[in-house]
Amino acid sequence: MDRIKNWFRSLGSKMQSFMYGRYGYDELSQFLSKTALLCVIVGLFAYPGFFCGLAMALYLVTMFRMYSKNIMKRKQERDAYLRRTQPLRDWQALQKRKFNDRKTHKFYRCSQCKTSLRVPKGKGKIKIHCPKCGAEIVKKT
């Protein structure tokens, strides 16, 4: 049993020294990996050659990015990916917050600037002041 533990420790140490100075796994690599897995699953049912080939290409790009030593270029790619997906991630965070607060708060949209406004439930008819544009909205909570 000790031999197996020592083998795994030495393997971990070798992997750590191999990855030193390399970029590693980030959000973009995670997206590419998940997309490749989705392509494999879709390829099981329709056009297996195309989707499996696409999945292989995505996995190769992911591996290239992980083992790359050009860290600045990989960071620029990651930053561009994060900039493009920021609206989607903001929307997902809002939906999660709405779901978690659904029993204690109501969410309204400002009629002028479309900002999401969170107010406590059960307060009757109240005036809501938008912090972004200063508009006043009267709603029942």
pLDDT at 84 over 90: yes
Q: What DSSP line would sit under 109-122, residue for residue? A: E-TTT--EEEEESS
Could you give the residue ranges of the DSSP H alpha helices within 22-132?
A: 27-43, 48-67, 71-100
Q: Could you tell me the pLDDT band of residue 33, with boundaries at 50, 70 and 90?
A: very high
pLDDT at 64 over 90: yes
pLDDT at res. 118: 87
Q: Is the pLDDT of residue 1 over 80?
A: no
What was the pLDDT predicted at 55? 94
| pLDDT on residue 95 | 93
Distance CA 10, CA 102 (A): 50
Average pLDDT, the chain: 90
Task: Quick: pLDDT tens for 107-129.
Answer: 988 888 888 888 988 888 888 88
Q: What is the pTM of this model?
A: 0.70
- Per the structure block, which two tokens stand in for 112? 């002028």
For a pLDDT cut of 70, what percent of the chain falls above it? 100
